[in-house]
Amino acid sequence: MSDERLELAGTERVRYFAPTAICFYLATLCAMLIVTSAFLVHMQDAVAVTAAGVFGLLSSGGLGVVFWRAQRRDLLYERVATASEASRNFEAVRSAALGAGWRITEEEPARRLVAQTAHSLLTVGERVAVRFRDREVLIASICDPSVGFSLVGRRRCEAHRNLVRRAVLAGGSS
């Protein structure tokens, strides 16, 4: 793995991290509920409201942390060492991406390539970002946030990374 992360900008970042933000928003509401319970007159009501607030705080805060960690891990670039130079790796990945029906959104020959995978009517598709450095390729793939963090989405992202990995490793053996 690499310590480098795929950088998201503007609305893309907001859209990608929205589930985490919603969880932390709910956790904040639960914390305010706990504080509010201190002002209730009947002790039995205060205990019940506090218990509900603590449960909500722990569950929504915990879920937010799980989402945040998973999202941060998905943004990490995976390093692949190859036998080919950057320009040859770039052409191999570009060819594989076009062959898979991906839409290339950004490209700098021999430096980087960003693509959106094939999508349906209701989804944007996964994002695949590839950087090229000498004989090393860095790959990141993130799920479409509108689909959510499902196992299907995670498997698709892994399949996209594998496609890029196979393309650059096959490019060096020919």
- Predicted confidence (pLDDT) per residue in 116-172, tens digit: 887 666 667 788 999 999 899 999 988 877 766 677 778 888 999 999 999 999 865
- Predicted confidence (pLDDT) per residue in 57-91, tens digit: 999 999 999 989 988 888 899 999 999 999 999 99
Q: What CA–CA distance (Å, rounded) separates 69 from 145? A: 15
What is residue 13's predicted lDDT score, i.e. its pLDDT?
87
What is residue 26's predicted lDDT score, i.e. its pLDDT?
96
In this predicted structure, the answer to whether residue 25 has a pLDDT above a threshold of 70 is yes
Task: Give me the chain's average pLDDT, please.
Answer: 88
SS3 167: helix
Torsion, Cα 127 75 93 152, to 10 degrees, reads -60
Question: 141 φ, ψ to 5°?
Answer: -140, 130
Annotated domain spans of the chain = 10-74, 78-173
The neighbouring-strand residues paired with 129 are: 114, 140
- Of the candidates 66, 80, 65, which has an alpha carbon nearest to the alpha carbon of residue 132? 80
What is residue 145's predicted lDDT score, i.e. its pLDDT?
72
Q: How far apart are the first and last CA of the chain?
A: 26
Q: What CA–CA distance (Å, rounded) separates 172 from 159? A: 20
Q: What CA–CA distance (Å, rounded) separates 60 from 171? A: 46
Q: Tell if the pTM clears 0.85, that is, is over it.
A: no
Tell me which H or E stretch contains 72: helix 43-74
- DSSP letter for 130, please: E
CATH number, domain 78-173: 3.30.310.80
